[in-house]
Amino acid sequence: MAKTGENKLKILMCTSEAVPFAKTGGLADAVSSLSLALASLGHEVRIVMPRYYAVDRDRLKKLEGAMGVPMAGGEEWCAIYTAELPGGQTGAKPVQTYFIDHEGFFGRDGVYGNAAEPDFLDNPRRFAFFCKACFQLCRKIGWYPDILHAHDWPAALVPVFLRHGEKYRAHSTSSSFSEQNESFEKTVSVLTIHNLGYQGIYSKDSFFCTGLGWDVFYQAGFDDWNMMNYLKAGIISADRINTVSPNYAKETLSQEGGFRLDGPLRDRGEAYSGILNGIDTEVWNPATDTYIPAPYSAENMKGKARAKKALQKYFGLPESTKVPVVGMISRLAEQKGIGDLFGPSFGSAFSFCVNMDLQFVLLGSGEAWAEHEITNLAGRLANFKAEIGYSEELSHLIEAGSDFFLMPSRYEPCGLNQMYSLAYGTIPIVRNTGGLSDTVQNYNQKTGEGTGFMFDYLSPNSIYDTIGWAVWAWYNKKKDIDAMRLRGMTQDFSWNKSALQYAELYRKAY
């Protein structure tokens, strides 16, 4: 038994991204914050991820000796580097992070792809190798976790390998069918789905690179309409599965929200649940934020007015306190509702900017058509400004300086920006979906209650109408708006509660 002590667990986070090392989305934030929060609860947490070019080797320590990873047709060799994920001011213990360094698989810019090759052709092989390497790492450092916690499709083969080979070395590398691998014998797996829209679906011609037999292809549920699906196999193999909000867990059990995996998820019954992500309250706290001109809090909001002015100045907008600023920070992807906002000829952004007395600022990057439309629109409208790109600093200024924050997501497993907005006294305007439903309460015009403005069906008209409603409230229900801001700011979105729920999930699995 590998337990560290009474009720304390050894947990290995297997992930393709983690801040501050590599990030393409909310997954990176979630993994690091959760790890630190669990460490604060006394669990022994470690992280393993690939070493991409973006992770500077000079800042890492190299473990002695190379590591061999059994792969189809032989062995691949890699180096292991390590660094500590700092605990920060909260006093959390640092989390030991390991980097799998393989030039052929990860020695490149881009996590999953780049501009020329959005989904690297060798991704099935890259991430099969990574998942296999997670086990070899434990052997190399002589540290066997109670919980292998895999995140999203790139790590989804970890539960599969555990069940079909690593736990009882049978199917893959060992010649003796009954030989037991003591080391992982008690280990259980948890798979967290951060976004069901990404599943790792590839031609089954690539299945050989998992090193598993064709019996496992069917047993573990890799088959997906004559293709191979990594996430589906992970869902079927993991001891417990969860996603990042209770409401998204419910939605994914339906045909509409299940991305064709609602069946396998329903089959897992009680083993599938939803746990709301938290936010990093050290990074996203208006009282300590160093990116904004002056700190502020629910007790003293002067700093928010300064942030609004600075934001208007940054974008060259009239520096008026009267006009509401609507902010948006987003990956420019269909998931985020950009088609209904900026779609040529029917998007609502043009109409609400022309017809309403507001200012609209956007920071984002992603699909080329959207970047093009947004740049075009910003050139034609005086009250719409956009920056195409990625900027941590500007994202903080937008959160602090805006009055409203727009998030018209088609679907949203959890979403972070609406929670940042609430913490910064910026009222979210969101679609009633996924984690947005779990974190925002719709405005009730009669009672003045609520923390945001919500709509059910995604269409250019409903975005237009809901922004119109918020702008109307801004000009006519000032007291309600102020009360909503403060209500949002006093909510607790820290990771503490979520970490306790994960600890509970581990116990159920273990």
Contact residues for ligand ADP, defined by CB under 6 A? 25-26, 29, 329-331, 363-365, 390-392, 395, 414-417
CB of 103 to ligand ADP, least distance (A): 28
Nearer to ligand ADP, 240 or 336 (CB): 336
Q: How far apart are CA 508 and CA 504, in angstroms?
A: 6
For 319-374, give the DSSP string.
--SSSPEEEEEEEESGGGTHHHHH-TTT-HHHHHHHHSS-EEEEEEEE-HHHHHHH
| CA distances for 381 relative to 84, 367, 376, 378, 387, angstroms | 47, 21, 9, 5, 14
Pseudo-torsion of CA 276, 280, 286, 288, nearest 10°?
A: 160
Q: How far apart are CA 190 and CA 212, in angstroms?
A: 20
Three-state DSSP at 63 gives coil
| CA distances for 477 relative to 352, 400, 473, 481, angstroms | 20, 21, 5, 6
- Residue 382's CB is within 10 A of a number of other CB atoms, namely 11
CB of 302 to ligand ADP, least distance (A): 25
* HSE-up of residue 422 (Cα within 13 Å, Cβ side): 26
CB of 420 to ligand ADP, least distance (A): 7
Nearer to ligand ADP, 159 or 364 (CB): 364
Main-chain dihedrals φ then ψ at residue 319, nearest 5 degrees? -85, 75
Q: Which residues pair with 331 in a beta bridge?
A: 365
Nearer to ligand ADP, 393 or 456 (CB): 393
Nearer to ligand ADP, 276 or 471 (CB): 276
CB of 196 to ligand ADP, least distance (A): 12
Nearer to ligand ADP, 264 or 364 (CB): 364
- Residue 26's CB is within 10 A of a number of other CB atoms, namely 22
Instruction: Give the pair of three-digit tokens for residue 70.
Output: 């059994």
Q: Which residue is it, tokens 């929670």?
A: 419
CB of 201 to ligand ADP, least distance (A): 19
Nearer to ligand ADP, 152 or 166 (CB): 152
Nearer to ligand ADP, 166 or 399 (CB): 399
Nearer to ligand ADP, 122 or 334 (CB): 334
Nearer to ligand ADP, 11 or 329 (CB): 329
CB of 435 to ligand ADP, least distance (A): 8
CB of 410 to ligand ADP, least distance (A): 11
Q: Is residue 204 a contact partner of residue 40, using CB atoms and an 8 Å limit?
A: no
Of all residues in the shown chain, the one whose CB is closest to ligand ADP is: 26
Amino acid letter for position 411: Y
Q: Which of 191, 51, 195, 24 is nearest to 114 (CA)?
A: 24
CB of 20 to ligand ADP, least distance (A): 13
Nearer to ligand ADP, 234 or 428 (CB): 428
Q: Where are the alpha helices (DSSP H) in 16-116?
A: 26-40, 103-106
What distance lies between CA 105 and its chain's CA centroid?
23
| Helix, strand, coil share of the chain (percent; to 5) | 40, 20, 40
